[in-house]
A and B are shown apart, each in its own frame.
Chain A
Amino acid sequence: MLRTLLVIASWDLIKLKNQKVFIAMRWAWFTVQILVFARAISYIVSHSVTQYTGGVDYYHFYILGVYTTLLYSASIARGYMIADEFDDGIVEYHLALPVKRNILAVGRVIGSSISTIIFTFPMMIIVYMVLGVRDILAILVSLVSALVFSMGVVSFVIMIVFTVKSTDLTDIIVGAIDALLVRLSTVFYPLPVIMATGIAPYYIAALANPISHMADFLRILLFPEYYLVVQHGLWASLVYLIGFSMGLLILAIEYYEKKLEAGGWR
């Protein structure tokens, strides 16, 4: 079973191999954003937000937010690829393989997530180099947490794809959710700043947002003093992330078994 799961997961890794130019371009742009634009934005805002960040450098806060956004959008992109495969009928091929449906679903989610991690790993290294992170354990934990987060996002997109059954509609829905989730999160704005706006729904949405938890988890993991800024602990974010991903993974398996099972997707 484990062997089959790994083979299924390798489907997405093969795809990654064929996107070398795209990946290189994304890495280059990310490096420019971290080394140039992030410094510019931090310079603009660092004085005004210091009161809210407990004296922690906004530049650190910002680039971990950028990395989290990238992790999220790369996971979404894997989901788009599954949507494209849906349009090309590859789902039929996968459904006809001598593999149990739940193994197929978990394999696809894990494969997509590992691809995301491989894709974003060089960006993570750049961020950690800039931040001066040397703690191997912290780096490993951040990698695993990124994998867990990515699994949740990929599961979520799979559910959307197999519900709406249209690439175009998936683009619209995921685009809208993407715009809301990133904006209503703490990736760029510290939670105390959001609270200071006095808009309660904004604060609640940011607090409940999985992207906020991913970004804040990394911040607390690498800079424990961020605990003051994010207002919830490392374990709380970890439990949230695991719950988010496992919950969505179970739903994605259910979708593969019930929605797709034997023609339900048509």
Chain B
Amino acid sequence: MRSKAVEIKNFTKKFGGFTAVDNLTLDIYEGEIFGLLGPNGSGKTTTLLTIATVYKPSGGDIYVFGHSVTREDYEVRKLVGIAFQDPKAMWIDKPIDLLKWHARVVGYSGEEAKRVVREVMELLGLWEHRNKQFYQLSGGTRKKVELAKVLIQKPRVAILDEPTAQVDVLSKHALWDVIKKLRDEGTTVILATNDMFEAERVCERIGIIYKGRLRALGTISELKDSIPSGDVIEVQYEASSLPGELLRELEVYGKVKHESNRITIYVEKGEEKVVDIVDLFKKRGVRIKKIMVKEPTLDDVFTYITGAKLRGEE
């Protein structure tokens, strides 16, 4: 049985009257890359910052290798490293200074700090930017500086909060490899993202969090299988509205999600149903602009479970 790296038990976090995370319970196992998937404002960052002991739980507790974040915060901090969503630096700071300081704080001697900082900066393609001031760096480069802190630290639990946001596509692939290598070297990785492709590509298990609550948990295939009907038919139509009768008729085939001029139907054996569905639209005089049958993606899983889209919803 795999040992638990992080154990979240009935964790609740409130800011005044606002509940950011509500009674979250989940385990993250040692040596896995665990994805926390959800839109902005879903409670991902609050959860991660609490694991990193920046926040204190309002209710429940979180244990990192058995150490409580509320009672043994210093012990927890010795095990956890975090790459923040927003890079933490002042505009005048230089990456080389920041990373050397970070290396010293996490325990390297002066010479070791120089060596490891150079290694990590070269690995991430940051060495050429080492003496630029932070305001001169692109958003993606700033994110890499943030990730570099974790790679220097090599903690037992690495928390990466949207590590590839603002990073160009080529660099993204390289960073995903770096994250996997970090895991291969023994670090448990918790990766928060609202990028379903990143989650599918990198994570072994995923927790879907929405409006502060855990909505689903499992491997990617388990989550996709959680859509009972198996296929997704997506229809874009040209009319400004859809007749109520048509909606009711479509619901016979499976669960229906309707937004602006697009309708998503979760069906079994989609290729067999698609002809009938086209006929229904014709019968009701609604012109179809585009129709497709597809395997469900994580985005579909998210939409199915929460009724919301991953991106664009706060």
Instruction: Indicate the member of B50, B86, B104 with the most A CB atoms within 10 Å.
Output: B104
Smallest Cβ-Cβ distance to B77: which chain A residue? A98
Prevailing SS type, chain B contact patch = loop
Closest chain B CB from A82 CB (angstroms): 11
Q: Name A90's contact: one of B80, B82, B88, B133 (CB within 8 Å).
A: B88
Please give, as numbers and ranges, the residues of chain B lying within 8 Å of A263 by CB-CB distance.
Answer: 13, 49-50, 54-56
Given known contacts A89-B84, A96-B82, A7 and B89 CB-to-CB distance under 8 angstroms: no
A126 to chain B, nearest CB (A): 27
Task: Say yes or no: is B94 at the interface (Cβ < 8 Å to chain A).
Answer: yes
Tell me whether B54 and A15 are in contact (CB under 8 A). Answer: no
B92 touches A18 (CB 8 A): yes
Contact B88 A89 (CB under 8 A): yes
Q: Which residue of B lies closest to A97 (CB)?
A: B105
Q: Name A10's contact: one of B93, B104, B106 (CB within 8 Å).
A: B104
Binary contact readout A1-16 vs B (1 if CB under 8 angstroms, 0 otherwise): 0001001101100110
Instruction: Count B-side interface residues using an 8 Å CB cutoff.
Output: 32
Within 8 A of B (CB), among A224-266: 261-264, 266
Partner of A8, one of B50, B73, B105: B105
Chain B residues closer than 8 Å to A171, beta-carbon distance: none
B74 at the interface (CB under 8 A from A): yes
User: How far does the alpha carbon of A261 sit from the alpha carbon of B74 in the complex, in Å?
Assistant: 11
Interface status of B252 (Cβ within 8 A of chain A): no
A96 in contact with B80 (CB, 8 Å): yes
B73 touches A262 (CB 8 A): yes
Q: Which residue of B lies closest to A19 (CB)?
A: B92
A residues less than 8 Å from B70 (CB atoms): 262
Chain A interface residue count, CB cutoff 8 Å, equals 30
* Distance A186 CA – B49 CA, assembled complex (angstroms): 47
The distance in angstroms between the C-alpha atoms of A18 and B93, with both chains bound, is 7
Q: Which of A84, A96, A261 has the most CB of B within 10 A?
A: A96
Taking a contact as CB atoms under 8 Å apart, the answer to whether B74 and A92 are in contact is: no
* Interface mask (B77-100 → A, CB under 8 Å = 1, otherwise 0): 110101010101110111001000
B interface residues, Cβ below 8 angstroms from A:
13, 15, 49-50, 52-56, 69-70, 73-74, 77-78, 80, 82, 84, 86, 88-90, 92-94, 97, 101, 104-107, 133
A and B contact pairs by CB, cutoff 8 A, 22 listed: A4-B105, A10-B104, A11-B101, A14-B93, A14-B101, A15-B90, A81-B90, A84-B90, A85-B90, A89-B86, A92-B54, A92-B88, A93-B88, A97-B105, A98-B74, A98-B105, A261-B56, A262-B53, A262-B55, A262-B56, A262-B70, A264-B56
A-B contacts besides A4-B105, A84-B90, A96-B77, 16 pairs, CB < 8 Å: A14-B101, A15-B90, A17-B97, A89-B88, A90-B88, A90-B90, A92-B49, A93-B88, A95-B53, A96-B49, A96-B54, A98-B78, A262-B53, A263-B50, A263-B55, A266-B15
